[in-house]
Amino acid sequence: GPPGGAVAFPGPTLIARSGRPTTVNWLNHLPRHHLLPVDPTLHQAFSHSTHTIARDGVPAVVHLHGGHTDADSDGHPDAWYTARGVTGPRFSGSRYSYANSQEAATLWYHDHTLGLTRLNVYAGLAGFYLLRDRRERELITCHRLPDPRYERELVIQDRMFHPDGRLAYPDAPAASPAWPGGPSIRPEFFGQVLLVNGRAWPCAAVEPRQYRLRLLNGSNSRFYRLSLDGGRPVPVTLIGTDDGFLHRPLPLTEPLVLAPGERADLVADFRGCAGATFDLGNDAPTPFPDGTPVLPPADKVLRFQVTRPYDARVPEPRLPAALRPGPFRVPRPVTRTRRLLLFEGQDAYGRPKPLLGTVERGTSAWDAPVTETPRPHTAEIWEFFNTTSDTHPIHLHLVSFQVLGRAAFTADQDPAGGALSNIRTEPPEPPDGTETGPKDTVQAPPGRVTRVKAFFDRCGTYVWHCHMLEHEDHEMMRNFQVR
């Protein structure tokens, strides 16, 4: 919140216009103790501890997720700073500029501090950043999309609470003979209370008309498989993905899977439903896709009650046949294909820990030399070979990518570092219809290679990582350098 002003959870929604740069001075007023238990992590580069926080203050740095941002303003994990002026090795000031040189999109901002992101975001350091453009404006004024008065941005986050209502994040398990290192990492966090915009299982009163819903999975680790149900189906149409519109509106016939970091731009049609109640429900197992089936109450997200009187002065939109001139493509020729690895490695005590690396060399630690170095103004294909047993949402900073598709594969794997040889891939599967718009986070399922194509338009050091924040904080993150 503003200094001395109201504090909001989540943070306020910022609205920007495409083509008009924005400057934000992000001031850190966090105290010298964290709201949540800070366990020292296993890697010494991730060095924030209760002790350093009590001395220096809680570090924070803001990243605009989905933004095509200069490296100085991107919120690199090492660019953190505290209220007491202590700064990380890549700090370059707190005044960030956002070029907004991209199309209308549902972006979001959140903390990205090295080794503390899961706790800072959990405590509330996240909010929406809506980018609007001319094409969207025209679609709205010709009544092809709902009027902004009937637009709702909804961030879904799972949490746990102490009996007195304070936010709870489980303490790290204590030292034991099996885990001699003492406080340990928590491999994932799954809370039983689902919050939408900071409120538990809220009820939204709506008119019997079409609403535009921008959903964001802002959870630490939980995936959602969402459907809207109330005895009879409400037509729901997908109109956009992470970073912009789909070519054509896509009526959803299956539940929508949203991984941490992903967004979905939807139109829900409550026409003719006056008096009815609809629940947005979740049935995604944790971890995804083969984990424990969802337990109540985490199967309930949000209730819509169609109880508001219809305001006939606002025209009902008619969705267009096309929302953009053609399908989203990265049009440039590919200069290089990189084969990247998701591998269940081990921490210093032999416990499983998913990590990133390259297919040829195996996994690399966070501070090992950079291996991904695209040239400026070139397009590359990145292939993510997932040899772990879970789906990981892989996010790249700087770019909006095109999802090319997936293929099942088998390979021989070096048990130590995970390097692959004798890779045999099955015929490629095209992307799902829900992934055909511009994306910045992609679900990489186990046993498959997931392929994306991106254009790298700015120089500098950025990161790519798993967006399950417990994984990101424990080294499922690597730098890449455009140079």
**Which of ligand C2O, Cu ion, none is residue 392 near (CB under 5 to 8 Å by kind)?**
Cu ion
Binding residues for Cu ion, how many (CB under 5 A)? 6
The nearer residue to ligand C2O, 324 or 465, going by C-beta atoms, is: 465
d(CA 211, CA 278): 14
Burial class (CB in 10 A: 0-12, 13-18, 19+), 254: exposed
The nearer residue to Cu ion, 214 or 392, going by C-beta atoms, is: 392
* The only residue of 34, 43, 48, 65 in contact with Cu ion, by rule CB under 5 A: 65
**Which of ligand C2O, Cu ion, none is residue 112 near (CB under 5 to 8 Å by kind)?**
ligand C2O
* The only residue of 43, 48, 110, 353 in contact with ligand C2O, by rule CB under 6 A: 110
**Which of ligand C2O, Cu ion, none is residue 451 near (CB under 5 to 8 Å by kind)?**
none
Q: Measured at CB, which residue is nearest to ligand C2O?
A: 65
Q: Give least dist CB 392 to Cu ion, A.
A: 3
Helix (H, G, I), strand (E, B) or coil at 186: coil
The nearer residue to ligand C2O, 269 or 435, going by C-beta atoms, is: 435
Q: For residue 336, is it left (φ>0), alpha (ψ between -120 and 50) or beta?
A: beta
Residue numbers 459-478 binding ligand C2O by CB under 6 A: 463, 465, 467
What do you get for the CA distance between the two ends of the chain, in Å? Answer: 36
Which of 292, 122, 309 shows the shortest CA–CA distance to 206?
309
φ, ψ (nearest 5 deg) of residue 55 = -85, -45
Does residue 112 touch ligand C2O according to CB under 6 A? yes
Q: Give me 204's structure tokens.
A: 């939204």
The nearer residue to ligand C2O, 214 or 397, going by C-beta atoms, is: 397
Residue numbers 367-396 binding ligand C2O by CB under 6 A: 395
d(CA 211, CA 268): 5
**Which of ligand C2O, Cu ion, none is residue 212 near (CB under 5 to 8 Å by kind)?**
none
The nearer residue to Cu ion, 301 or 468, going by C-beta atoms, is: 468
Which of 101, 138, 106, 108 shows the shortest CA–CA distance to 22?
101
Residue numbers 384-403 binding Cu ion by CB under 5 A: 392, 397
Torsion sign (Cα): 381, 255, 239, 133: negative
Mark 456-475 with x for binding to Cu ion (rule: CB under 5 A) and - for no binding.
----------x-x--x----
β-sheet bridge partners, residue 95 = 25
Residue numbers 25-84 binding ligand C2O by CB under 6 A: 63, 65
Q: Give me 244's structure tokens.
A: 């912009």
Q: What is the CA radius of gyration of the chain?
A: 22
Which of 105, 61, 67, 64 shows the shortest CA–CA distance to 79?
61
Residue numbers 188-247 binding Cu ion by CB under 5 A: none
The nearer residue to ligand C2O, 75 or 240, going by C-beta atoms, is: 75
Residues whose CB is less than 8 angstroms from the CB of residue 412 and which lie 6 or more positions away in sequence, other chains included: 420, 421, 422
Binding region for ligand C2O (CB under 6 A)? 63, 65, 110, 112, 261, 395, 397, 463, 465, 467
